[in-house]
């Protein structure tokens, strides 16, 4: 086993009297697909929110490449290469698909005021490169035909794909997908599976997944964490988790 | 019918509640005391008639609506509306406007040119506020504060340091930007309504500060005798000050006071053109896209590694700097600044220009600035009801064209394989 890219220990999140996440530990290996599963309300999304800086965890340590990041704000963590999607689609709906992708490259562009005002060669180069990168990913997720349509008018499955492409614009190291298959039909779910595999295998991205579609989770995950009522229940490879009596009990109820 | 009856009753009541204090009660001066008197019987009867009219209309609305054949489709045909909102059409519209704007003043009357200069000031203010409200989605009700900062910067520089218009112009812009930046820091944590209230307060604070710092700003009397702009050192006055030359002497033409007005107009036009150019570039720059993205979804922006505070702050600062330029020009044109030029109503008018024009659309803002500045001039006899007309215009706009007069479509980006 190589060194984990993300190491979480003792992660606890308390909202007043409610213990939403209790002592969760994760160890994520680079270039793997790691899933977090659990019943509704188990605290999976809260874990994501803590990892990406949207919540400040009550206690616990989050190490990204051995560097503690749990004190940082959301955009600072994103700059370190941890990028996420949300349960509901959060595209910039009135902007076109390609503009969505350009916005996400904000940090990698020439943002100098004078440069843009005078259209200096370096500004043009940077804009051109951004456009090419966006075009490349539109092709990758098969959205070239709708590049100039406002994102809000795309079909639901297309919006989901565009969201993943938008995340890729930031050149992430860890991509966190919060229920990416929710609302997709079986064909689209298959495409999503292929896309996630492509991200991991071709683009060296570590993917963390929250998902309820067990078929998808079991077929693509390299490692699975199970959380129930905020508390870690089990972890292991898909086969191990499938046979774990505690998991079966939590999901199917007592025999 | 019962529901209609209730609604009709309250509508009629509302007419009374609004019309009686506004139209019926009049304050008249009797010696040194104010006396409240009722209006003439004619006015009172017309209020009653209006109330009854509203009552009947609301009661029978469904029935009447059935009698009138419904017109299908929007006010403007789909094709025309689409064509008008295309970015390319709007660009050509702008070019045409600029050419007309350059030639027209030489054939127009002095009053018309002067009025057009005022329109241009509002265009500049509208375009600047459009960055903050239309693009970045930050509701700023104290925009006039930055306008005041710009105006007083030039007034004070001219009064105490003898600066000319052209040297003071960038300084005024920078000063307004600094104020925008300083205000933005604490305020931009707030959202929506809260932001609006705080900015509203800021605008008022600036005005009150200007009125009370009598030692420096002249208090309620303001600062007068501000120098007019010069053309490369050529003044447009009848007689030049010590060591200066006048425009008409230099070119050997007869003195004509219209020249000064046209010159001011052309400066305003130049400033508007620069503003237009800068904003047009900004829209196509990463920062412009970031503003729009922030307006649509702040959380998504953060998740993509963009710092919302810096982006908001840049919008606020840049928007303020345009108000600073406009303020500087305003001071030069009037030759006099007083705190009363920068009341809340100015902020409201500028905001109305942005909303009326269509958020984010530049041609729309120009059109709206023209309408809102010219309307009170054209309808001078309705001066008392100016605010009423404003309100009515806004309500009608919200019903028929909530997207503004001329909203802009998104630019089409070419993907090259």
Q: Please, which residues have CB within 8 angstroms of residue B297's CB and are 6 or more apart in sequence? A: A90, A91, A92
Final residue before a domain boundary, out of B10, B38, B67: B67
- Shared domain for B7 and B114, answered yes or no, is no
CATH number, domain with residue B359:
1.10.3470
- Cα B141 to chain centroid, rounded: 11
Question: Which of A75, A85, A90 faces B297 most closely, judged by CB atoms?
Answer: A90
E strand or H helix that includes residue B15? helix B2-19
Assigned domain for B371 exists = yes
Number of domains in chain B: 2
Which ipTM value was assigned to this complex?
Answer: 0.88
- Shared domain for B155 and B11, answered yes or no, is no
- Shared domain for B63 and B94, answered yes or no, is no
State what percent of residues in chain B have pLDDT above 90: 24
pLDDT at B238 over 80: no
Assigned domain for B232 exists = yes
Residues forming beta bridges with residue B246, ordered by sequence position? B235
Q: Give pLDDT tens digits for A132-172.
A: 999 999 998 889 898 888 899 999 999 999 999 999 999 99
The dihedrals phi and psi of B142, each to the nearest 5 degrees, come to -115, 30
Q: How far is the C-alpha of A51 from the C-alpha of A77, rounded, in Å?
A: 8
- Shared domain for B98 and B176, answered yes or no, is yes
E strands, B321-382, are: 336-337
The pLDDT score that the predictor gives to residue B74 is: 56
Residues forming beta bridges with residue A6, ordered by sequence position? A28, A64
The pLDDT score that the predictor gives to residue B63 is: 72
Q: Please, which residues have CB within 8 angstroms of residue A120's CB and are 6 or more apart in sequence? A: A114
The candidate with the shortest Cα–Cα distance to A174, out of A53, A9, A87, is A53
The dihedrals phi and psi of B107, each to the nearest 5 degrees, come to -115, 0
| Longest Cα–Cα distance in chain B | 83
The candidate with the shortest Cα–Cα distance to B324, out of B174, B206, B202, B118, is B174
Assigned domain for B416 exists = no
Final residue before a domain boundary, out of B39, B67, B95: B67
Q: Which residues from A are below 8 Å from B303, CB to CB?
A: 52, 54, 74-75, 78, 83-86, 90
- Shared domain for B13 and B142, answered yes or no, is no
- Average of per-residue pLDDT across B34-43: 78
The pLDDT score that the predictor gives to residue B322 is: 95
Pairing of strands A6-15, A18-28: antiparallel
Chosen for mutation from B87, B282, B285 (greatest number of chain A CBs closer than 10 Å) is B285
The pLDDT score that the predictor gives to residue B221 is: 87
Assigned domain for B417 exists = no
Q: Give pLDDT tens digits for A192-239.
A: 999 999 999 999 999 999 998 888 999 999 999 999 888 888 899 999
Q: Give pLDDT tens digits for A35-79.
A: 999 888 888 899 999 999 899 999 999 999 889 988 888 899 999
The candidate with the shortest Cα–Cα distance to A2, out of A48, A66, A53, is A66
SS3 letters across chain A: CCCCCEEEEEEEEEECCEEEEEEEEEEECCCCEEEEECCCCCCHHHHHHHHCCCCCCCEEEEEECCEECCCCCHHHHHHCCEEECCCCCCCCCCCEHHHHHHHHCHHHCCCCHHHHHHCCHHHHHHHHHHHHHHHHHHHHCCCHHHCCCEHHHCCHHHHHHHHHHHHHCCCCCEEEEECCCCCCCHHHHHHHHHHHHHHHHHCCCEEEEECCCHHHHHHHCCEEEEEECCEEEEEECHHHHHHCHHHHHHHHCCC
Query: What is the number of other CB atoms lying within 10 angstroms of the CB of residue B121?
Result: 21
Pick the CATH number of A1-81+172-255 from 3.40.50.970, 3.40.50.300, 1.10.8.640, 3.40.630.10: 3.40.50.300
Residue of A nearest to B299 (CA): A90
Residue of B nearest to A78 (CA): B305
Q: Please, which residues have CB within 8 angstroms of residue A4's CB and are 6 or more apart in sequence? A: A27, A28, A29, A30
- Shared domain for B205 and B59, answered yes or no, is no
- Shared domain for B41 and B108, answered yes or no, is no
Tell me if B324 sits within 8 A of B144, measured CB to CB.
no
The candidate with the shortest Cα–Cα distance to A85, out of A16, A175, A11, is A175
- Shared domain for B13 and B158, answered yes or no, is no
E strand or H helix that includes residue B216? helix B214-217
pTM across the whole model: 0.82
Assigned domain for B39 exists = yes
Question: Which of B285, B300, B305 faces A90 most closely, judged by CB atoms?
Answer: B300
Q: How far is the C-alpha of B317 from the C-alpha of B319, rounded, in Å?
A: 5
The pLDDT score that the predictor gives to residue B240 is: 67
Q: How far is the C-alpha of B49 from the C-alpha of B71, rounded, in Å?
A: 29
Q: Give pLDDT tens digits for B314-324.
A: 999 999 999 99
Chain B: closest CA distance from residue A110 (Å): 8
Chosen for mutation from A64, A84, A104 (greatest number of chain B CBs closer than 10 Å) is A104
User: Which residue segment(s) compose the domain that B55 sits in?
Assistant: 2-67
The pLDDT score that the predictor gives to residue B30 is: 77
The pLDDT score that the predictor gives to residue B77 is: 65
The pLDDT score that the predictor gives to residue B268 is: 92
Assigned domain for B414 exists = no
Chosen for mutation from A89, A90, A122, A143 (greatest number of chain B CBs closer than 10 Å) is A90
Contact: A98, B413; criterion CB under 8 Å: yes
Assigned domain for B406 exists = no
The dihedrals phi and psi of A197, each to the nearest 5 degrees, come to -60, -40
- Shared domain for B51 and B101, answered yes or no, is no
- Shared domain for B46 and B101, answered yes or no, is no
Assigned domain for B73 exists = no
CATH 3.40.50.300 domain locations along chain A: 1-81+172-255
| Gyration radius (Cα) of chain A, Å | 19
The pLDDT score that the predictor gives to residue B161 is: 86
- Shared domain for B377 and B343, answered yes or no, is yes
- Shared domain for B53 and B184, answered yes or no, is no
Chain A: closest CA distance from residue B95 (Å): 19
């Amino acid at each position: 086993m190589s060194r984990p890219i993300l190491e979480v220990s003792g992660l606890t999140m308390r909202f007043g009297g409610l213990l939403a996440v209790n002592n969760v530990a994760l160890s994520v290996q680079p270039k793997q697909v790691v899933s977090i599963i659990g019943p509704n309300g188990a605290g999976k999304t809260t874990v994501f929110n803590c990892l990406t800086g949207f919540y400040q965890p009550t206690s616990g340590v989050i190490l990204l490449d051995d560097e503690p990041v749990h004190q940082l704000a959301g955009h600072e963590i994103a700059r370190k290469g941890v990028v996420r999607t949300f349960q509901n689609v959060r595209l910039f709906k009135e902007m076109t698909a390609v503009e969505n992708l350009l916005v996400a490259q904000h940090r990698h562009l020439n943002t100098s005021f004078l440069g843009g005002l005078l259209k200096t060669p370096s500004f043009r180069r940077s804009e051109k490169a951004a456009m090419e990168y966006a075009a490349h990913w539109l092709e990758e997720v098969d959205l070239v035909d709708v590049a100039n349509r406002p994102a809000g008018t795309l079909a639901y499955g297309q919006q989901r794909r565009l969201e993943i492409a938008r995340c890729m614009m930031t050149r992430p190291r860890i991509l966190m997908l919060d229920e990416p298959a929710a609302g997709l039909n079986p064909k689209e779910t298959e495409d999503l599976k292929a896309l996630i595999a492509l991200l991991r295998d071709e683009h060296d991205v570590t993917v963390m997944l929250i998902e309820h579609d067990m078929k998808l989770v079991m077929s693509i995950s390299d490692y699975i964490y199970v959380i129930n009522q905020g508390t870690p229940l089990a972890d292991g490879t898909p086969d191990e988790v499938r046979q774990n009596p505690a998991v079966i009990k939590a999901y199917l109820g007592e025999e | 019918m019962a529901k209609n009856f209730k609604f009709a009753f309250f509508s009629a009541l509302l007419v009374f509640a609004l019309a009686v204090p506004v139209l019926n009660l009049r304050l008249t001066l009797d010696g040194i005391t104010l006396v409240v008197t009722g209006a003439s019987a004619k006015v009172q009867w017309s209020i009653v008639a209006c109330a009854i009219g509203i009552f009947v209309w609301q009661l029978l609305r469904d029935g009447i609506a059935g009698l009138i054949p419904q017109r299908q489709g929007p006010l403007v045909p789909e094709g025309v509306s689409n064509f008008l909102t295309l970015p390319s059409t709007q660009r050509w519209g702008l070019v045409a406007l600029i050419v007309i704007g350059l030639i027209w003043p030489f054939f127009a009357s002095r009053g018309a040119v002067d009025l057009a200069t005022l329109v241009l000031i509002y265009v500049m203010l509208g375009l600047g506020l459009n960055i903050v409200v239309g693009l970045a989605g930050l509701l700023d009700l104290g925009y006039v504060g930055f306008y005041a900062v710009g105006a007083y910067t030039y007034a004070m520089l001219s009064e105490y340091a003898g600066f000319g218009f052209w040297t003071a112009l960038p300084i005024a812009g920078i000063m307004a930007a600094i104020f925008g930046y300083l205000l933005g820091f604490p305020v931009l944590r707030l959202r929506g309504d809260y932001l609006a209230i705080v900015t509203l307060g800021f605008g008022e604070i600036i005005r009150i500060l200007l009125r009370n710092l009598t030692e420096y700003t002249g208090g309620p009397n303001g600062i007068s005798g501000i120098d007019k702009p010069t053309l490369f050192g050529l003044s447009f006055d009848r007689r030049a000050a010590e060591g200066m030359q006048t425009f008409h002497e230099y070119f050997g033409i007869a003195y004509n006071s219209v020249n000064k007005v046209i010159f001011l107009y052309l400066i305003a036009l130049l400033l508007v053109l620069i503003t237009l150019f800068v904003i047009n570039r900004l829209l196509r720059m990463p920062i412009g896209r970031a503003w729009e993205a922030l307006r649509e979804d702040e959380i998504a922006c953060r998740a993509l590694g963009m710092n919302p505070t810096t982006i908001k702050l840049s919008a606020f600062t840049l928007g303020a700097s345009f108000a600073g330029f406009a303020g500087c020009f305003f001071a030069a044109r009037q030759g006099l600044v007083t705190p009363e030029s920068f009341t809340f109503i100015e902020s409201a008018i500028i905001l109305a220009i942005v909303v009326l024009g269509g958020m984010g659309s530049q041609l729309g803002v120009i059109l709206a600035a023209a309408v809102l500045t010219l309307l009170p001039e054209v309808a001078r006899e309705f001066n008392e009801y100016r605010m009423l007309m404003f309100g009515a215009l806004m309500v009608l706009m919200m019903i028929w064209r909530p997207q503004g007069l001329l909203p802009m479509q998104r630019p089409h980006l070419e993907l090259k394989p």
